[in-house]
Amino acid sequence: MRRPSLVAVIAIIVVTLLYAPIVLVIINSFNADKLLIAWGGFTTEWYREALSDERVRNAFMTSIKVALLSTVISLVIAITAALWTRRALAGRRRLFDATTFLRIILPETVFALGLFLLFTRFDIPLGIPAIVIGHVVFNSAYATIIIQSRFSTMDTTLESAAADLGAPPWRVFRRVTLPLILPAVIAAGLLVFSFSFDAVVTSLFLGGTHAETLPVLLLGMIRLHVTPEVNAIGVMVMLTTTALFAVAAGVISVRSAAGARASAKQWRTT
């Protein structure tokens, strides 16, 4: 048998280092040893304890609300911006692209601190609305880049044909443009939701005493000691995110299969 090459060995090491912590979290979530010093047997008690903790449930629901609102607002901003840049002058488009990439390059701490000082200066209350605004500031930039890349490869022939046939702009967007960019919208929405759900810095700065997201709660729980309950919460968060990606992949696959069948049926008809 051929010995593995240096590249293969490095790849195996990298993959192991990436996934070993995740495997360790999953194993420790079923460890009966509360101190996690050694394997104390298999148990699901920590999952029951996490689900019965009212603070954990409230933090989870807060994270879901913030992530959903941030995703919807970011997608609306991204789609609107992408439609505008298609017809904008080159100078304005470059200026907009610069501001978009600037929101990605600058550290999240800078935005969070700036928004915190701004809200404090104008007596704007902290809480869920403040967290959503903070997440939208940088999440909309990621969504804009993804949707813009889809528009850059999309032909305008179908949109022009629909407009020539008398369809108003809103109908052209709803019946032609939106179905064409829907895979990019779904991908951008999943990315924004994941970033918003996992954000710690912005949620910590802008949550105040009225809103606590799940990552902020976990940060507070691990300051003294990592308990098996923390591992159980992490596994449930991971399963939630994975389920969302699976659902989105299934939706895209179903739509692609339906589109292929429709195209084949139309070809046979003609």
**Residues 6 or more apart from 46 whose CB is under 8 A from it?**
29, 30, 227, 228, 229, 231, 232
Q: Answer yes or no: is 233 within a domain.
A: yes
How far from 242 is each of 33, 149, 192, CA to CA, in Å? 27, 25, 14
Please report whether residue 258 resides in a domain.
Answer: no
30 within domain boundaries: no
Per-residue confidence (pLDDT) for residue 65, from 0 to 100: 93
User: What does the pLDDT read at residue 180?
Assistant: 87
Domain assignment present for residue 138? The answer is yes
Q: What is the longest distance spanned by two Cα atoms in the chain?
A: 72
pLDDT at 1: 58
Q: How far apart are CA 243 and CA 250, in angstroms?
A: 10
What length is written for the chain?
270
Give me Rg for the CA atoms of the chain: 23
Task: Determine the structural domain holding residue 69 and report its residue range.
Answer: 53-252
CATH for 140: 1.10.3720.10
Q: What are the start-end ranges of the H helices in 88-177?
A: 90-105, 108-121, 128-152, 157-164, 169-172
Q: Which residues of the chain have pLDDT under 70?
A: 1-4, 248, 251-252, 254-270
Is 145 a member of any domain? yes
pTM for this entry: 0.82
Domain-located, residue 37? no
Residue 267 lies in a domain: no
For tokens 């139309």, what's the residue?
266
Kindly report each contact of residues 34-40 with a partner whose C-beta sits within 8 Å and lies 24 or more positions away, as own/partner.
Answer: 34/227, 34/228, 36/226, 36/227, 36/228
Q: How many domains are there within the chain?
A: 1
Q: How far apart are CA 270 and CA 265, in angstroms?
A: 9
Q: How many whole angstroms separate alpha carbon 199 and alpha carbon 211?
A: 14
User: Would you say residue 210 lies in a domain?
Assistant: yes
pLDDT of residue 261: 61
